[in-house]
Amino acid sequence: MALKEKLETDLSAAMKARDGVRTRTLRMALTAVKNEEVAGKQSRELSDDEVVKVLAREAKKRREAATAFDDAGRAEQAQAERDEGVVLEEYLPAPLADEELTALVADAIAATGAAGPRAMGQVMKVVNPKVAGRAEGGRVAAEVKRQLAT
């Protein structure tokens, strides 16, 4: 079953179970997917990888919103954002452990023969497809930068 179909099926089940948080979150996720599908000059069906990217982007928004609400002293809204984030995490691949990310970056550096900070773009081109949806870009870039600096 495609990921989008699974989201739709789970939304239907959540509505029947009257699970407010899950219903709200899945509706928001499906809206984001559909908006992405119709963005651009021509509408298209998203692949599972593209749906994962959209869900990862939405999960990141939830984390950032929760932090902003915490900083503003609005604990109730922050918790609501975290609850939505938990639902979204169920549909995302398991995040990369630090050791796995370090190994992937080391392999990419060896494969490209990169040396020095100027080669960061080369390494990022090789690493990004391997970590898609499993690690945030900033985290990957920091690891690449750290390894190229040594």
**For residue 135, which of 85, 110, 98 has the smallest C-alpha distance?**
98
User: What pLDDT, on a 0 to 100 scale, did the predictor assign at position 97?
Assistant: 82
Question: How do residues 4-17 score in pLDDT, each as one tens digit?
Answer: 899 999 999 999 99
Residue 93 confidence (pLDDT) above 90: no
CA–CA dist 1, 68 (Å, integer): 36
Alpha-helical runs (H) found in 72-136: 75-89, 98-112, 120-131
Percent of the chain with pLDDT over 90: 39
Assign residue 47 a region: left if phi > 0, alpha if psi is -120 to 50, beta otherwise? Answer: beta
**Mean pLDDT of the region 132-144:** 81
Q: How confident is the model at residue 107 (pLDDT cuts 50, 70, 90)?
A: confident
CB 54, CB 32: distance < 8 Å: yes
Strand ranges (E), 69-115? none
Hey, what domains does the chain have and what are their CATH numbers?
3-90 (1.10.1510.10), 98-149 (1.10.10.410)
Amino acid identity, position 110 = A
Mean pLDDT across the chain: 87
